[in-house]
Amino acid sequence: MLILTNEDIETLIDMPACVATLEAAYRDFGTGEAVDIPRQDGLVANSRPGAVHAFKTMSGSWPRAGIAALRLNSDIVHWPVVGDSPRRVKIPCSAGARYNGMVLLFSTDTGQLLCTFNDGLAQKTRVGASSGVAAKYLAREDARNLGLLGTGWQAEAQVEAMCAVRRFDLVKVYSPTAANREKFAAMFARKLGTDIRPVATAAEAAHGADILVSATNSMTPTIKPEYLRPGMHITSVRGSEIPLEVLRRVDRLVVNTHAPVSAFPARGWPSEVPEFTNGDYSRPDIGLIAYEKVPELKDVVARTVPARVSPQEITCFHNYKGLGLQFAAIGSLIYASARKRGLGITVEDRYFTQTVHP
């Protein structure tokens, strides 16, 4: 059994390959040849003011790669107000100010545990790559201008994925903190060889954008109705970033999955956290938009429903919930590459198998 760290994974991940692999996994999911088991969160009280312990699991199986994956997180989460907006923030409470999240990969041939690795880099990569897959099908082929709201770790994967599926003349990036947007723009201009410029407002980032991406941890909307224009494609990393008014104005809406996040809160504050107002567990648009009738990305990729059908359409990939299957897909790449390059620590398999019938 192989153990990998984020430091190992950083040398293994290639965004174009991740986009292509996720596209293949979505296609198999759309034809019924892959399986996703929806996310579940357990929430209980924590000793820190305003915080909870969140225990999260999601899983999926991709037979084409011979991989099943389980992703789990043990997080201390709180919702501080930054500016005038609450943000969902994880607190690194483990020794050394570290977070707790991991992915386990199993063989669909033998059932054996093959690998375990930190989920951090894989997490942002699978979100970015899924947005890239959606943009490949939903954005105009001639999209040349990208607007990006946010400069955090999710934004990094988003700009890489968008540049993997479209060739941009200009990328405009906004963050409320000038130093953050200037650093981000300089770093990714060098890395991607693209003209990336920091701008002072979200409206300026959205102006003239063919694709508009919001990649923040904001609990309030970031994409405003006035940002929309014919032919635009929009996407986000949280359901809270796209308000109902925007969702009602788009011409073609696609979601990552119909299945909601199942939350199991203890009484008191765990059942009252902001996620139940406009976040992972509930939003104002739920019940007002018939999501069961909205196409899922897997259906678009499998071509059982149409993608973009006209240059004037406003399209939206509402990425309000992830899939365990994404970790099986990204994990298959990570595991194969690590084995090929001899990375990681190998532990005897007998510690993870047993002769006793479970």
pTM score of the predicted model: 0.95
pLDDT reported for residue 259: 85
Q: What span, in angstroms and rounded, lies between the C-alpha atoms of 249 and 252?
A: 9
Helix (H, G, I), strand (E, B) or coil at 348: coil
Helix (H) or strand (E) holding 16: helix 15-30
Question: Which DSSP category does 288 fall into?
Answer: T
Q: What span, in angstroms and rounded, lies between the C-alpha atoms of 108 and 110?
A: 6
Question: Which DSSP category does 296 fall into?
Answer: B
pLDDT reported for residue 136: 98
SS3 content of the chain, % helix, strand, coil (to 5): 35, 30, 40
- CATH top-level class for 2-122+324-351? alpha beta
Q: What span, in angstroms and rounded, lies between the C-alpha atoms of 137 and 126?
A: 17
Structure tokens of 58? 């999601």
Q: What span, in angstroms and rounded, lies between the C-alpha atoms of 263 and 266?
A: 10
> Residue 316, Cβ neighbours under 10 Å: how many?
27
Helix (H) or strand (E) holding 122: helix 120-138
pLDDT reported for residue 3: 98
Q: What span, in angstroms and rounded, lies between the C-alpha atoms of 156 and 187?
A: 10
pLDDT in tens, 191-245: 999 999 999 999 999 999 999 999 998 989 999 999 999 999 999 999 899 999 9
All residue ranges of the chain with pLDDT < 70 are none
For residue 314, give Cα distances in angstroms to 225, 228, 247, 248, 254. Answer: 12, 8, 10, 11, 11
Q: How far, rounded to the nearest angstrom, does the alpha carbon of residue 168 sit from its chain's CA centroid?
A: 22
pLDDT reported for residue 260: 83
- CATH code for the structural domain at 139-318: 3.40.50.720
**All structural domains of the chain with their residue ranges:** 2-122+324-351, 139-318
